Structure 1
Amino acid sequence: MDDPFMDHHHYGDSLFPSSTLIPVTIICLLLFIIGVTGNTMTILIIQRFKDMKTTTNLYLSSMAVSDLVIFLSLPFDLYRLWKYVPWVFGELVCRLSHYINEGCTYATILHITALSMERYLAICFPLKAKVVVTKRRVKYVILALWTFALLSAAPMFFLVGVEYENETQPDPDTRQCKHTSYAIDSGLLHTTIWVSTAYFFCPMFCLLFLYGSIGRRLWKTRNELHGPCTAARQKAHRQTIKLLVGVVIAFAICWLPFHIGRNLFTHVDDYHTARVSQDFNVASMVLFYLSASINPVLYNLMSHKYRTAAKRLFLLPRRYRRRGQRQLSTRDEIATCTETLTGV
């Protein structure tokens, strides 16, 4: 929200009317509650129960950490939404909040891509996956993903900063946390936008290819399943395809407006374009936090195994300890077959 054409069209201290600010704030606070609760639950469940420490869930746990860290920046984004000037939190917080957002965003996208590759191997090449995909290797992959993501986001330290409306006569009441003049003049902003765009389209094409291959594999083998788990596996096929389609759609919906808004910002040359850019900024902010809160829903809440672990952790631990000593019921057998196929 750094458009110079908007400076004389404020609604008080904000760039937006209350009719926009109040609903957006309420939605973001709800996403904060859902996201923090869901991601914290994911981390606790995976860390506490041995049977939940699968290679897939290691990715999910790391993604949950990334999404939790993203929510640290929500108070500052809401502050800038309500009070465009002055920025009162200082230079370090300005740079750090943007860097954390960018780094964790890249980390989440890389985790989704790596997890999709792992699912592709597990479903399309199950024998090879058992040998190649180990917990130790996954931990190294996760470390590499975080390192690469944080290094990719490093330019954000130089891209943003605290600037005044009139640098020759600085007025504390005009301090803004925004893209710096140096970043715009040097071309660093355009470079960062290209990197960010690559982080969207490359994983998107990768997801489409991987999930398309998975879908074809499941479709071809739908009639090759035999044995007591046949019905459960056929049901798991349908659930897996629905989940994968949901992943791609959610990924596109959550991130496409963000990149459209960024590219619009670089072409702002009049008030109308600036207004459109600002509207995209608000929409992309909401979708940004939606993406950080929806992962536990998409990847975990569709898993019977995850729901069972959540109940063991929070609701009825004694009941589930006793239940664990009994023989599996028919429902549990179906769930077991489903978990084996989908890996979540």
Structure 2
Amino acid sequence: MENFTEIQEVNNTFGTWIEHSIQYKVVSSLLVFAICAFGLIGNVMVILVVLTTKHMRTPTNCYLVSLAVADLMVLTAAGLPCITESIFESWVFGHYGCLCITYFQYLGINASSCSITAFTIERYIAICHPIKAQFLCTLSRAKKIILCVWAFTSIYCLMWFYLSSVQELKYDNVTILTCGYKVSRRSYLPIYFIDFGIFFVLPLLLSAILYGLIARILFMNPLPSDHKNKNGHCKNSRHSTSTATSRRQVTKMLAVVVILFAMLWMPYRTLVVVNSFLERAYVDTWFVFFCRSCIYLNSAINPLIYNAMSQKFRAAFRKICHCAQKRSQRPAAHSVALTYSVVKDTSVIESTDHFTTEMEELTVTEDLLPEKTIMHKENTCRL
């Protein structure tokens, strides 16, 4: 029992064994499954939207794809095994499953933190240094940075293959398997605090500073007003106003992602830091479950933020769902449909419910028409 108590107090993210009640098993399993299912669908849609829609392939969205991949890794390597742990109260994936799952847990967590830091720096350069952004904030450079991020985190997390192991615990003449750490609690603390500083404290401090500078440039300057020349024509005022509004919208969305990352990771980070200074760790079942659920929710909520705060993402999500519904309901004989639009961006069409309703009544299918048919621009400026 002394050995069991010592192992139970190890600050293990997902490997502490506690006897669970039936109520806990039902609530935790259903809630974690719902969060993971919602997060898996949402993050997969984010990846599909950016990869399949040409105008969505921007440097910022590339970082969001990297974040979505990292969140998928967290949900599959941390969330889903938590369900089996709650139900069976024992590790069921074996020794190599323990090594790989622990590795991918930390890889997803650290890669998501680095992706957030990367798009924060990209936003700062794009807004505060627009001249440098022309050759620094490019799509090719964003892809190279993402490759470096994943290469660094993949190499950094290799240590968990040597620090993780399956442990056998004897409890009331029953053998319980847990996926835990080989090292003692004292040996683990320096590793944790280095990880805590590099992938949590440093990104948040950097994000706070950079978003403060962005706010000073972006939100304290008024939007450009409509100016006219002597002939009464507009001087690109609509374009400049639209650009400034779009920049504010994207910056607000990314700032919300960073804030939620800090808030939802704070309970677990605080718990581990506090337990580091206690003689006997605080491992209340429901509070530990709350801390874990916040981590899973952080990996699942980002697509919802994109849908709520970005018109382009919202339109692209609708387009994917609409196309999937059309394919499932498409008859055997294909009818020829005609359409005409003077709107430049298809997102405007998708975001207008009235126009979408009319299109559906006419049984118009966008995928039967060339892309250029939908992308005309109204160049006149009316007074």
Aligned residue number for residue 210 of structure 2: 210
Residues 41/241 of structure 1: CA separation in 2 closer, same or farther (3 Å cut): closer
Aligned residue number for residue 288 of structure 2: 281
Aligned residue number for residue 340 of structure 1: none
Q: How does 1:130-279 map to 2 (within 5 A)?
A: 130-165=134-169, 173-180=175-182, 183-184=183-184, 187-198=186-197, 199-226=199-226, 227-228=237-238, 232=242, 236=246, 239-240=249-250, 242-270=252-280, 273-276=281-284, 278-279=285-286
SS, match of residue 180 in structure 2: strand
Shift of 1:223: 4.7
Shift of 1:274: 3.1
Give distance in 1, aligned partners of 2:291 and 2:4.
16
Aligned residue number for residue 338 of structure 1: none
Aligned residue number for residue 328 of structure 1: 343
Asked whether 1:38 is paired with 2:45, we answer no
Structure 2, unaligned stretches of length 5 or more? 9-16, 227-236, 327-336, 352-383
Shift of 1:238: 6.0
Aligned residue number for residue 111 of structure 1: 115
Range moving further from structure 2, 229-238 or 211-220:
229-238
Structure 1, unaligned stretches of length 5 or more? 8-12, 336-344
Root-mean-square deviation (Å): 3.2
SS, match of residue 300 in structure 2: helix
Give distance in 2, aligned partners of 1:296 and 1:288.
15
Aligned residue number for residue 313 of structure 1: 320
Give distance in 1, aligned partners of 2:168 and 2:213.
52
Give distance in 2, aligned partners of 1:240 and 1:58.
14
SS, match of residue 184 in structure 2: helix
Structure 2 residue identity aligned to 1:266: S
Give distance in 2, aligned partners of 1:322 and 1:57.
32
Shift of 1:253: 1.3
SS, match of residue 328 in structure 1: coil
Aligned residue number for residue 10 of structure 1: none
- Bigger fraction of residues in helix: 1
TM-score, structure 2 as length reference:
0.72
Give distance in 2, aligned partners of 1:268 and 1:4.
14
Structure 1 residue identity aligned to 2:283: R
Aligned residue number for residue 128 of structure 2: 124
Kept in 1, the 8 Å contact 2:111–2:149? The answer is yes
Asked whether 1:88 is paired with 2:92, we answer yes
Structure 1 residue identity aligned to 2:24: T
Give distance in 2, aligned partners of 1:111 and 1:82.
33
Higher relative contact order, chain-length normalized (CA < 8 Å, sep 6+) = 1
Residues 117/40 of structure 1: CA separation in 2 closer, same or farther (3 Å cut): same
Give distance in 2, aligned partners of 1:238 and 1:45.
22
Residues 234/43 of structure 1: CA separation in 2 closer, same or farther (3 Å cut): closer
SS, match of residue 221 in structure 1: coil
SS, match of residue 174 in structure 1: strand
Shift of 1:236: 4.8
Larger Rg: 2
Range moving further from structure 2, 301-310 or 139-148:
301-310
